[in-house]
Amino acid sequence: MLKMTLLNDNSEVVSYNFADFPIRAKKSLLSDYPTMAAANHWHTDWEFILLLNGKMSYSVNGKSYELQEGQAIFINSEQMHYGYSADGSDCNFICILFPPSLISSITRIKETYILPVCEDTSNPFFILHPEITWQRNLIELLKNVYELCNEEKDGFELHVMSLFNTICFSLYNNIKDSISIQETADDKKLEAMHNMTGYIQKNYQKRITLNEIAAAGNVCRSSCCDIFKLILNKTPVSYLTEYRLEKSIELLKISSLSVTEIALQCGFTGSSYFTEIFHKTLGCTPSQYRRKKFNNL
């Protein structure tokens, strides 16, 4: 299960494969996540998801899209996103992330090619179809990155860097005619959402009010609820509850912690309420989930 920590701007701290080479290239299953859904999050890295087996629903800035086996999706910098199973079926996928700054050390390249893609408001994401030649080639490049990062043969870092430059060229070359950097009303709502979800993720262990969530986004209570509904299709309170449940599942892996201790550490008022919400969401009690998932670890 993947843990999430945040930077001061409320973006996710990405967990990379290597401490001194900022790249994440790993395989995962949707069933690795509670309720078969990742937490809604954002970061400045470029992210690519490649579906190896199965299908996945993917939400970007509040709109959901269906991804099929063999397809991939590119998520641009600073977009709210998460993958999930809409029907309970599992999905095996590769996740690749890297910061655009990794290939931005030359100012001319950064300003001419990297920043226009990062700041492109018309392409917050891009679904890659294997039937289209340039997109199929891009998918193959991403598979090569995954293999190189996991084999770690001598000189793989240089090979990966060359592939990232090729990937960037492919993205820029095929979307350059539609690039737009105009700020819209949705961009302001997205910024508010970044701040409000970040506030929840930093303070979920404490009692949180709707007023506090709204204040984090510098909006009123009504606008706060409207933005959550628009982007996440849920209320601020339901997002808070789901996030607390996700964190509780991480703690259930620690056998020395009682259900009551976990409930209190995750911001629930007590074990009874925690167990009620847990059972309602996951179909079993926390103790039953612990025995099923973690007894053999």
Please state the separation of Cα 205 from the chain's center in Å.
Answer: 21
Task: From 152, 178, 204, give the residue that closes a domain.
Answer: 178
CATH of the domain at 51: 2.60.120.280
Whether residue 18 is found in the same domain as residue 164: yes
Whether residue 123 is found in the same domain as residue 9: yes
Going by C-alpha positions, the residue among 219, 113, 103, 114 that lies closest to residue 165 is 103
Which residues touch 21 (CB under 8 Å, ≥6 apart)? 157
Whether residue 81 is found in the same domain as residue 127: yes
Give the largest CA-CA distance in the chain.
59
CB 63 within 8 A of CB 40: no
Residue 285: per-residue pLDDT: 95
- The DSSP secondary structure of 196-228, one letter per residue, reads HHHHHHHHTTS---HHHHHHHTTS-HHHHHHHH
C-beta atoms surrounding 262 within 10 Å: 22
pLDDT along the chain (297 residues), means of 10: 48 80 94 82 93 96 92 93 94 96 94 90 90 96 97 97 95 81 68 90 93 95 93 89 90 91 95 94 90 72
CB 1 within 8 A of CB 15: no
Task: From 151, 178, 205, give the residue that closes a domain.
Answer: 178
C-beta atoms surrounding 163 within 10 Å: 15
Whether residue 160 is found in the same domain as residue 193: no
Whether residue 66 is found in the same domain as residue 92: yes
Whether residue 147 is found in the same domain as residue 215: no
Residue 178: per-residue pLDDT: 73
Rounded-to-integer distance, Cα 171 and Cα 150, Å: 24
CATH of the domain at 224: 1.10.10.60
Which residues touch 74 (CB under 8 Å, ≥6 apart)? 46, 47, 48, 125, 126, 128, 171
Residue type, 6: L
Whether residue 192 is found in the same domain as residue 289: yes
Residue 3: per-residue pLDDT: 46
What range defines the domain where residue 284 resides?
185-294
The count of structural domains within the chain is 2
What's the pTM value of the predicted model, to 2 decimals? 0.76
